[in-house]
Amino acid sequence: MTTDTTPTSYDADAQGWFGGPEAGWGGRFMPEALVAALDELTVAWQDAMADPGFVGEFDTILREYAGCPSRLYEAERLSAKVGARILLKREDLNHTGAHKIRNVLGQALLTKRMGKTRVIAETGAGQHGVASATAAAYFGLDCTVYMGSVDTKRQALNVARMHLLGAKVVPVDSGSATLKDAINEALRDWVASVDHTAYLFGTAAGPHPFPSMVRDFTRSIGDEARQQVLELTGRLPDAIAACVGGGSNAIGLFTAFLDDEDVAIYGFEPGGEGVDTPRHAATIHAGDRGVLHGARTYVLQDADGQTVESHSISAGLDYPGVGPQHAHLSAIGRATYLPVTDDEAMAAMALLSRTEGIIPAIESAHAIAGALRVAERLAAEKGPDATVLINLSGRGDKDMGTAIEYFGLGDPDQVTERPVGDPDSDPRADRSGAPA
Amino acid sequence: MSVRTAFDTARGEGRAALVGYLPAGFPDVQGGIDALHAMVDAGCDVIEIGLPYSDPVMDGPTIQAAAQQALERGVRTSDVLRTVEAVAATGTPTLIMTYWNPVERYGVERFAADLANAGGAGLITPDLTPDSAPEWIAAADRHDLDKVFLVAPSSTDDRVTMTTAACRGFVYATAVMGVTGARTTTSDLAGPLVARTRALSPDGGADLPVGVGLGVSNGDQAAEVASYADGVIVGSAFVRTLLDHPDDRAAGLRALSALTDDLANGVRRG
ipTM for the assembly: 0.95
Question: B98 and chain A: CB distance < 8 Å anywhere?
Answer: no
Cα–Cα distance, B227 to B269 (Å, whole number)? 8
SS3 for A122? strand
Q: For residues A72 and A99, is the Cβ–Cβ distance under 8 A? A: no
Buried b (16+ CB within 10 A) or exposed e, A409-425: eeeeeeeeeeebbbbee
Query: Considering only alpha carbons, which residue of chain B is nearest residue A207?
Result: B127
Q: How many residues does chain B have?
A: 270
pLDDT of amino acid A6? 58
Chain segment B21-50, per-residue pLDDT in tens: 999 999 999 999 999 999 999 999 999 999
What phi and psi, each to the nearest 5 degrees, are found at residue B188? -80, 0
Query: Considering only alpha carbons, which residue of chain B is nearest residue A303?
Result: B105
Whether the pLDDT of residue B165 is over 60: the answer is yes
Whether residues B71 and A306 touch (CB distance < 8 A) is answered with yes
Chain segment A38-68, per-residue pLDDT in tens: 999 999 999 999 999 999 999 999 999 999 9
CA distances from B244 to B36, B66, B217, B238, B252 (A): 17, 11, 14, 10, 7
pLDDT of amino acid A195? 87
Pairing relationship of beta strands A118-123 and A197-199 according to DSSP bridges: parallel
Question: B68 and chain A: CB distance < 8 Å anywhere?
Answer: yes
The structural domains of chain B, with segments of one domain joined by +, span 3-269
Whether residues B179 and A191 touch (CB distance < 8 A) is answered with yes
Whether residues A304 and B163 touch (CB distance < 8 A) is answered with no
Chain segment B98-112, per-residue pLDDT in tens: 999 999 999 999 999
The CATH number of the domain covering residues in B3-269:
3.20.20.70
Pick out chain A residues at pLDDT < 50: 1, 425-436
Whether residues A175 and B60 touch (CB distance < 8 A) is answered with no
Predicted TM-score of the model (pTM): 0.94
Question: B102 and chain A: CB distance < 8 Å anywhere?
Answer: yes
Cα–Cα distance, B146 to B95 (Å, whole number)? 8
- The residue annotated as part of the active site, out of A81, A393, A398, A432, is A393
